[in-house]
Amino acid sequence: MDILDLDAHAQADALARRQFSAHDLMQATLARIDAINPVVNAIVSLQDPDALLAQARAADAAEREGWLHGIPIAIKDLANAAGLPTSQGSPLFAGQIAQSDDLMVARLRAAGAIVIGKTNTPEFGLGSHTYNPVHGRTRNPFDPSRSAGGSSGGAAAALATRMLSVADGSDMMGSLRNPAGWNNVYGMRPSWGTVPPSPEGDMFLHQLSTAGPMARSPTDLAMLLDTMTGPDPRLPLCQHSHACAPTIAEDPGALRIGWAGDWGGAFAVEEGIMTFSENALRQLESMGHHVAALKAPFDADAMWQSWCDLRSFAVAGGLADIYDDPARRDALKEAAQWEVGRGVALGARQIQQASEIRSDWMRAATALFQKIDVMVLPSAQLWPLDGTLDFPKRIAGRAMDTYHRWMQVVIPASLIGLPVVNIPCGFNDDGLPGGLQLIGPRGSNARLLQLAQQWHVETLWPQTRPPEV
C-alpha cells in the first residue's frame, strides 16, 4: 500500500515499528506535492525540500517525542509557525515571517510533527471559498473547476489528495465543516474553549472562532484534537476536557438524532442537497439510531442578525486599525471592508441585543438537547461552487444578500459554540462530495467522535480518492 494512503495514526504506528522511516514518508510527501499541488494549489509557502528531508532524518535518529513524531504537517495560513510566512492571504502581510509558534502549533511540534509549509486560506479567513491575491485559488480535487470551500480549503484539499494525512484548521463560520464536506474528509469544530487560542490580544469578548482538527478518519480527528487541547494558565475561558482518542471505538449507543433540514424553509438549499442528506440519515437509522424531523428550534432571522452583528464586531476588532488607515484600507478585500464598516458602526446596545439573542438560542438549545442527542444539518447549502465566483449570488432562486448568507446553515452551532463533526456522505451524480454536520450539546466532543467513527467503519468514504490521485 502507498504509505500516503495510510491515516496519520497508522503512519505513526508504522514509524514507531520502523516499518518505514520519517525520511521515506517525507520523500513520498514531497513527491506527491510536486505532482498534485500544481493542480489544486492547497499547500503554500512550502519549505526547502532538502531542509525538510534533513529534519526527517533527524527525527529518525531521535527519541520519539509524541504520536506525530516525523509526520509532515502544514499549518493553515492564519496561524503563526516560527520561521514561516503568515500572509493570512493578504498583500498587507505577504512575506511576513512569524517569529514564534502560536500555542496550537507549538503543541503539534511538541508531539513531533514536522511543519513543511502552510495551507491556503481566503484573505483573513473571510468567506467559505479559498482564494486570495497572495497565493491564488485552491481547487477542488474532485473537480478542479469547483471550489474547495473554506476557509480551511487548503487543508481539506491537501488531505483528500494525500499530500497530508492530518491537518489543523479553524472555524468561525463553517471553515472546518464546509471544506470537509466538499473534499470528502472529516472536520471537527470542537466545543468552544476546548482548543485554547494563543494568549494574545483580547481574551474575553470574541467567542465565535475556534481551532480544530481535519483528517480522513475520526480516529485521527480525536488524536489531533487531544494534542491541541488542554488549558493554559494565561487564558481565562479555556476548558478542561477529557481525552477523546481512548474512547473513540466505544459504542455511542442508540442515539436520538434530530434532522433540522433547511430550518423550516429558512435556509435556501440547492436541488439535491436534501435528498442526499436524507439518504445518509436513513443509513444512520439502519445503524440503530432513531432519526426524527425537527421543527425549527429557534427563529432563523433573529439568529442571523445576532450572528452578523457579533461577527462584524469580532472582525472589526482585528482589522479596524487597517481600515482606519486610508493608505491600507483599499488593500482589504470588499468583504473585509464591509465587515469592519459594520462592526465599527455598531453601538453598545446593538452588541448587547445580539448577545441576548445568542443567550436565548443557548437556552433553547439546552432544552432541545434534553430531547435529542444529536442535531443534524447539511454541511453546506449547495454543492461545490464554480471556482471562478467570489460567492454564489442565488441559491434555489433566492438572492444571497451578503457574501456569507449562503453558509447560514452553519450558524446554529457557531453562534453558541456547540461541537460539530462533519462526516463525508458520498457523492452526487456529478461526482461532487457532500457531508452532514453532527451537532451536539457543549461538552459532547467524545460522543460525536464515537458516532463519526461508527459511521466511518460502515462507509469508509475518504478511501474514494480524487481522480488526480
| DSSP string covering 114-183 | EEEEEE--SGGG-SSS-EETTTEE-EETTEEEEE--SSSHHHHHHHHTTS-SEEEEEESSSTTTHHHHHT
CATH code of 387's domain: 3.90.1300.10
Evaluate whether residue 80 is within a structural domain: yes
- Count how many residues are written for the chain: 469
Domain containing 263 equals 3-463
DSSP state of 406: G
Evaluate whether residue 125 is within a structural domain: yes
Evaluate whether residue 469 is within a structural domain: no
DSSP string, 304-332: HHHHHHHHHHHHHHHHHHHHT-HHHHTTS
Strands 139-140, 143-147: pairing kind:
antiparallel
Evaluate whether residue 422 is within a structural domain: yes
Give the chain's domain count: 1
Evaluate whether residue 468 is within a structural domain: no
Cell representation of residue 334: 470588499
Are 15 and 3 within 8 A, CB to CB? no
For residue 1, what pLDDT band results from cuts at 50, 70 and 90? confident
Q: What is the pLDDT of residue 46?
A: 98
Helices (H), 161-299: 178-182, 218-228, 273-286
Distances (CA, A) of 384 to 11, 42, 391, 405, 462: 30, 16, 11, 15, 17
Evaluate whether residue 439 is within a structural domain: yes
pLDDT above 90: residue 346: yes
Q: What is the pLDDT of residue 395?
A: 98
Evaluate whether residue 341 is within a structural domain: yes
Could you give the CA distance from residue 332 to residue 328 in angstroms, rounded to a whole number?
A: 7
Q: How far is CA 142 from the centre of its chain?
A: 18
pLDDT above 90: residue 351: yes
Count of other CB atoms within 10 angstroms of residue 302: 16
Q: Is the model's pTM score more than 0.85?
A: yes
Residue-wise pLDDT tens digits, 199-257: 999 999 998 999 999 999 999 999 999 999 999 999 999 988 899 999 999 999 999 99
pLDDT above 80: residue 345: yes
Has 145 been annotated as catalytic? no
- Among 45, 175, 217, 444, the one annotated catalytic: 175
Has 76 been annotated as catalytic? yes
DSSP state of 125: G
How many Cα atoms sit within 13 Å of 159 on the Cβ side?
Answer: 35
Q: What is the pLDDT of residue 431?
A: 98
The SS3 call for residue 26 is: helix
- Among 45, 90, 151, 170, the one annotated catalytic: 151
Upstream peptide bond of 191 is cis (omega within 30 degrees of 0):
no
- Among 76, 90, 152, 165, the one annotated catalytic: 76
Q: What is the pLDDT of residue 468?
A: 78
Q: What is the pLDDT of residue 38?
A: 97
Has 295 been annotated as catalytic? no
* Backbone angle region of 156, left / alpha / beta, with phi > 0 → left and psi within -120 to 50 → alpha: alpha
Evaluate whether residue 294 is within a structural domain: yes
Are 15 and 7 within 8 A, CB to CB? no
